[in-house]
Structure 1
Amino acid sequence: MATMENTMFLVFVFVALITKEALAAQHAVGGSQGWDESTDFDTWAKGQTFKVGDQLVFKYASGLHSVVEVASESAYKNCDLGSALNSMNGGSNVVKLNKAGTRYFACGTLGHCNQGMKVKIKTVTGNAPSSPAPSSTSDAPGPSQSSASFVMAVAVLLATFMLYVF
């Protein structure tokens, strides 16, 4: 049978993992316009804070656009899609930002990257809150304070239950 100390440790680990995931943000790339040639991705990205654990959500017309991640800033600037790290074309793709650094994305449709359909994402670590654009909530709802509060309430109830059981 597990000791109370072991049980409490597991509960605290569980709470920490759930809380971290609940506080991650989803960023609808391009805001309400989405992944489209008419979007000013530089301006959109400058209005965001991307943190480790956040997600990018690319929404676009499948068959008309795609998402290609390239390996370097040079490839990004020159729209050299031959160095692709990943290529997606499903119309709705989610990319998790799993480490700090810069990542580069472009549309793989011929000519779209050269027309500006590309975005550079700088992911940071730290305590700064993630800041998805206000318009992104209509496309891909990110976590709200109420969802984080709900997760914390469930965790507290679980911890209290565990104290009484053991």
Structure 2
Amino acid sequence: MVSKQTYAVVVVIVVVLPSVALAKEYVVGDDYGWTIVYDYEAWAAGKDFRVGDKLIFNYEPGFHNVYKVSGAAAFRDCTVSLANVPLTSGNDVITLETPGRKWYICGMDRHCEKGRQKLAITVNDTLVSVLPPPGPPSSANGIVATRYQALMVGIAAIVLMIMV
């Protein structure tokens, strides 16, 4: 019989592992990095940002920075509250921890206003990413297989091998 502790460990693995295993890292601006006069709206278009994913802002320190701003108005107007502290390392990593709209701007020398150095994204919940949209069943056996389902089968197999 399975102990309560083993069951709890399995539940934690099944809930946490998919978001970690399926998390992506996005280098903002790809090879261009975080810079002025780049179309970050086009860069973000079509990307499926999820809770657990990471944004990596690469830039030359001292020339740019990254501020997370709160709301569409602050983003549109390129305004930063006095309490907001910039990221300045030149290799800033931001883990997307909650779903919803997120806004990032550069606060250096009017880069946001004049150089369009700003990024707005929508972060979706992790659970949605692991559940595919409904589709037609496969002709072989009527089941649509996903990476998530394959991962869960693998985890269950490992747990069963450990317990036996």
Structure 2 length-normalised TM:
0.74
Separation of aligned partners in 2, 1:121 and 1:161: 42
More strand by share: 1
Shift of 1:83: 5.3
Separation of aligned partners in 1, 2:58 and 2:38: 12
Q: Deviations over 1:131-153 (max 9, x none)?
A: xxxxxxxxxxxxxxx9xx89975
Shift of 1:19: 2.5
Question: Does 1 or 2 have the higher relative contact order (CA < 8 Å, sep 6+)?
Answer: 1
Choose 74-83 or 115-124, whichever is displaced more.
74-83
Q: Deviations over 1:36-73 (max 9, x none)?
A: 11421011111311112211111111111110111121
Question: Structure 2, unaligned stretches of length 5 or more?
Answer: 131-146
Q: Between Structure 1 and Structure 2, how many residues are aligned?
A: 145
Shift of 1:86: 4.1
| Counterpart AA for 1:4 | V
Separation of aligned partners in 1, 2:16 and 2:2: 20
Question: Structure 1, unaligned stretches of length 5 or more?
Answer: 130-145
Where 2:97 maps in the other structure, the secondary structure is coil
Structure 1 length-normalised TM:
0.73
| Counterpart AA for 1:70 | V
Separation of aligned partners in 2, 1:84 and 1:67: 14
Q: Deviations over 1:110-134 (max 9, x none)?
A: 12111200011111225247xxxxx
Q: Which structure 2 residues correspond to residues 115-126 of structure 1 after superposition, within 5 A?
A: 115-125=115-125, 126=127
Q: Look up the match of 2:133.
A: none
**Cα RMSD after superposing both structures:** 2.8
- Rg bigger for which structure? 2
Separation of aligned partners in 2, 1:107 and 1:54: 21
The answer to whether the aligner puts 1:127 opposite 2:125 as a matched pair is no
